[in-house]
Amino acid sequence: MDTIPTLTAKEQRNIFFRLMKYTKPHKKTILFAFSLLLLTTIGDVFGPIIIKVFIDDYLTPREFPYGPLVGLGATYLFIQIGNVLISYFQLLKFQEIALKIIQQLRVDVFTKVQGLGMKYFDKTPAGSIVSRVTNDTEAIKDMFVSVLVSFIQGAFLLTGIFIAMFALNPRLAFFCLFILPVIFMIMNLYRKFSAIFYQDMRERLSQLNAKLSESLQGMSIIQIFRQEKRLREEFGNINEKHYLAGMRNIKVDGLLLRPAIDLVYVAALIVVLSYFGVTSFNQTIEIGVLYAFVNYLDRFFEPVNQIMMRLSMFQQAIIASSRVFKLLDEDELSPAQNVENLSKGTIIEGKITFDNVSFSYDGQRDVLKNISFTASPGETVALVGHTGSGKSSIINLLMRFYEFDRGNILIDGQNIKSYPVEELRGKMGLVLQDPFLFFGTIRDNIKLHSEEMTDREVEGAATFVQANTFIEKLPEAYGHPVVERGSTFSSGQRQLIAFARTIATRPKILVLDEATANIDTETEEAIQEALSRMRKGRTTIAIAHRLSTIQDADLILVLHKGEIVERGSHQELLVQKGIYHKMYLLQNGLVDGMEDTVTGS
């Protein structure tokens, strides 16, 4: 079994107290629910006392006066009916509090995820994050709904029962106190072992979700390369570890929960009966008191059993909370979210300057080395180079997906780090090679639910990039449904919708990451025409693998191993007869094989 760090008792207490902070906004409702809980506890404690009075004062002496008996019976009936009604409203209020707390916790977690940097998502499987937002918060909800109510109700009832027992017979009640340290010892022992197994189970469940998410997203590749058997084995291996962790916990539950408590109950019952048996030789014992003590013992152990059974849920909730809080405490924030002393400046022109920028993803190997260039409004700067040369890394830094600490990136002469994220992202338009479409309609995907954007502007943006030609042929046109990731559209159609979405925001800076790679030749010609209109007055940064798409760029930067090794226009670079020249010859079929390109690079 893989080694998974466990939580200490102190860490569990800190997690519990942190979780309780979420109850602060609900103080009044909690106080009201506790008041109802107190009333039901009082009813539970007084029930056996009424029975005791009936047995000792009326049944034993065989005296049955009509009035007092009716009053006694009515009081008992009133208490029982009242308890049922009050218990309903008390549980309703506790459930309401629990659901509101979990609602807020889920919003906090989702909000946190939205603000995390790309570096966090690079190292964390999506399924693991989903597990924390859904499964773990659901376990926490169970704690508020079932565990805390049982613990608090049990504490109230146990206190009331011991008070009543001391009122009936202090000496016998004192003998029964031995129960408490034994119960606490069992609870502590259970907490110690179950924490290990539940943490293991939660981690395995997270791994299952991650593996399932990965399999669903890559199903086409799995089937094409016949990887079904391997994925089944990997999933089965994780599932087996989850099963073994669950079985270990079930063994602990089976030993330390109800069976152990039942043994303590039998011991307590023996003490009570032995006490009354011994004292009966010297004095008369009251049957009502005996009944009350046995009844109280039974009522005492019922909440204890409930608490012990809920301990497993409590341990699951604490482990789940630790995972949720670990995510909430994650400091790998998006650079745009983790900025101090933001200016209120606005991007007017969109002039971009990279000044001697170096960057590393892992802090050890630089993927960008001393990158410097300027892109002015109306100009197009193209980035070309072999895979891994650093093209996408330049885009990632410009979009503030990753933080850099060497060199400067300026927009309109102002450090990019000082712009508010709303201003930065609002003035940049990004089109990726593989566009992402959301579930909804085509109109929703172009306007991204912007209340300010009109339908006319949506249609205008689609017309601008010539996406209207296929959209208007659809049965519902702009209201045509888009399934998850837009899988019912062709790559070219998805790209056209992404172009329309970008143009609709009227960006000052246009960033194209091989945006025409998945578009057929006929559509590409239309897109190139639209792009030439889009670039007017805008700063454009374009990554390109097909050199034919960027021949009209004002500046072409050739990257190799994170460095700019060549720069100039298309014609200037061809004259240099360097890497760009060899790439151009290769793509146009003017050289045979890759040897020249490799040598040139």
Written as six digits, the tokens of 514 are: 């091989």
Q: Give the mean model confidence (pLDDT) for residues 548-556.
A: 83
- Cα 123 to Cα 196: distance, rounded to the nearest angstrom: 25
Task: Inform me whether the pLDDT recorded for 596 exceeds 50.
Answer: no
**Amino acid type, 238:** I
Contact 400, 393 (CB under 8 A): no
Query: Is residue 334 a part of any domain in this protein?
Result: no
- Cα 521 to Cα 527: distance, rounded to the nearest angstrom: 10
Of 281, 297, 329, which residue constitutes the final position of a domain? 329
The DSSP result for 142-176, as a single string, is HIIIIIHHHHHHHHHHHHHHHHHHHHH-HHHHHHG
Give yes or no: residues 302 and 404 share one domain.
Answer: no
Give yes or no: residues 253 and 389 share one domain.
Answer: no
C-alpha dist (Å) from residue 57 to 49, 65, 73, 294, 319: 12, 11, 14, 18, 53
Please indicate whether residue 461 or residue 599 has the higher confidence score (pLDDT): 461
Query: Is residue 303 a part of any domain in this protein?
Result: yes
- Distance from chain centroid for Cα 426: 26
At residue 316, the pLDDT reads 76
Give yes or no: residues 318 and 366 share one domain.
Answer: no
pLDDT mean across residues, the chain: 77
Strand partners for 244: none
Give yes or no: residues 260 and 325 share one domain.
Answer: yes
Contact 517, 545 (CB under 8 A): yes
At residue 550, the pLDDT reads 81
Contact 453, 479 (CB under 8 A): no
At residue 594, the pLDDT reads 41
Give yes or no: residues 283 and 143 share one domain.
Answer: yes
Q: Dihedrals φ, ψ of 404, to 5°?
A: -125, 150
Contact 92, 40 (CB under 8 A): no
Task: Inform me whether the pLDDT recorded for 323 exceeds 60.
Answer: yes
At residue 595, the pLDDT reads 42
- Cα 107 to Cα 113: distance, rounded to the nearest angstrom: 10
Give yes or no: residues 405 and 321 share one domain.
Answer: no
At residue 241, the pLDDT reads 84
Q: What is the pLDDT of residues 204-230, one digit of tens each?
A: 877 887 787 777 777 766 776 677 788
C-alpha dist (Å) from residue 138 to 142, 209, 320, 519: 6, 15, 9, 44
Q: What is the 3-state secondary structure (H, E, C) of 3-42?
A: CCCCCCHHHHHHHHHHHHHHHHHHHHHHHHHHHHHHHHHH
Contact 136, 108 (CB under 8 A): no
- Cα 543 to Cα 515: distance, rounded to the nearest angstrom: 8
Please indicate whether residue 591 or residue 94 has the higher confidence score (pLDDT): 94
Exposure of 291 in the CB half-sphere (CA atoms within 13 A):
15
Q: What is the pLDDT of residues 433-469, one digit of tens each?
A: 777 778 778 888 887 767 777 878 888 888 887 778 7
Contact 387, 433 (CB under 8 A): no
Give yes or no: residues 316 and 371 share one domain.
Answer: no
Contact 551, 574 (CB under 8 A): no
Query: Is residue 166 a part of any domain in this protein?
Result: yes
Relative to beta strand 414-415, strand 481-482 is: unpaired
Strand arrangement of the beta sheet that strand 509-513 belongs to: 428-431, 509-513, 539-543, 380-385, 555-560, 563-568
Of 297, 329, 361, which residue constitutes the final position of a domain? 329
At residue 431, the pLDDT reads 80
Query: Is residue 224 a part of any domain in this protein?
Result: yes
User: What pTM, to 2 d.p., does this model score?
Assistant: 0.63
Relative to beta strand 352-360, strand 563-568 is: unpaired
Range with lowest mean pLDDT among 30-44, 430-444, 507-521, 567-581: 507-521
At residue 34, the pLDDT reads 79
Of 281, 298, 329, which residue constitutes the final position of a domain? 329
Contact 375, 540 (CB under 8 A): yes
- Cα 574 to Cα 551: distance, rounded to the nearest angstrom: 11
Domain residues for 97? Answer: 9-329
Give yes or no: residues 409 and 272 share one domain.
Answer: no
Give yes or no: residues 106 and 253 share one domain.
Answer: yes
At residue 324, the pLDDT reads 85
Q: Dihedrals φ, ψ of 338, to 5°?
A: -120, 55
At residue 343, the pLDDT reads 60
Range with lowest mean pLDDT among 99-103, 140-144, 384-388: 140-144
Contact 600, 579 (CB under 8 A): yes
Q: What is the pLDDT of residues 262-284, one digit of tens each?
A: 787 787 777 777 776 777 666 66
**Amino acid type, 40:** T
Q: Give the mean model confidence (pLDDT) for residues 173-196.
A: 75
- Residue 500: which pLDDT band, with cuts at 50, 70 and 90? confident
Query: Is residue 347 a part of any domain in this protein?
Result: no
At residue 139, the pLDDT reads 79
In the chain the first and final C-alpha atoms are separated, in Å, by 47
Task: Inform me whether the pLDDT recorded for 539 exceeds 80.
Answer: yes
**Amino acid type, 314:** F
User: How many other CB atoms are there within 10 angstroms of residue 510's CB atom?
Assistant: 22
Q: Give the mean model confidence (pLDDT) for residues 135-150.
A: 75
At residue 597, the pLDDT reads 41
Give yes or no: residues 310 and 360 share one domain.
Answer: no
Q: Dihedrals φ, ψ of 370, to 5°?
A: 50, 55
Q: Is 96 helix (H, G, I), strand (E, B) or coil?
A: helix
Which of 128, 132, 138 shows the shortest CA–CA distance to 208? 128
- Cα 515 to Cα 521: distance, rounded to the nearest angstrom: 13
Written as six digits, the tokens of 91 are: 């549980």
Q: Give the mean model confidence (pLDDT) for residues 40-54.
A: 74
**Share of the chain residues as helix, strand and coil, in percent rounded to the nearest 5:** 65, 10, 25
Query: Is residue 601 a part of any domain in this protein?
Result: no
CATH assignment of the domain containing 200: 1.20.1560.10
CATH assignment of the domain containing 434: 3.40.50.300
Query: Is residue 576 a part of any domain in this protein?
Result: yes
Range from 187-201, 256-270, 376-390, 492-506 that averages highest in pLDDT = 376-390
Give yes or no: residues 68 and 186 share one domain.
Answer: yes
The DSSP result for 352-404, as a single string, is EEEEEEEEESSSSSEEEEEEEEEE-TT-EEEEEESTTSSHHHHHHHHTTSS--
* 8-state DSSP, 285: P
Give yes or no: residues 306 and 434 share one domain.
Answer: no
Range from 294-298, 360-364, 554-558 that averages highest in pLDDT = 554-558
Count of domains forming the chain = 2
- Residue 141: which pLDDT band, with cuts at 50, 70 and 90? confident
Query: Is residue 344 a part of any domain in this protein?
Result: no
- Distance from chain centroid for Cα 138: 11
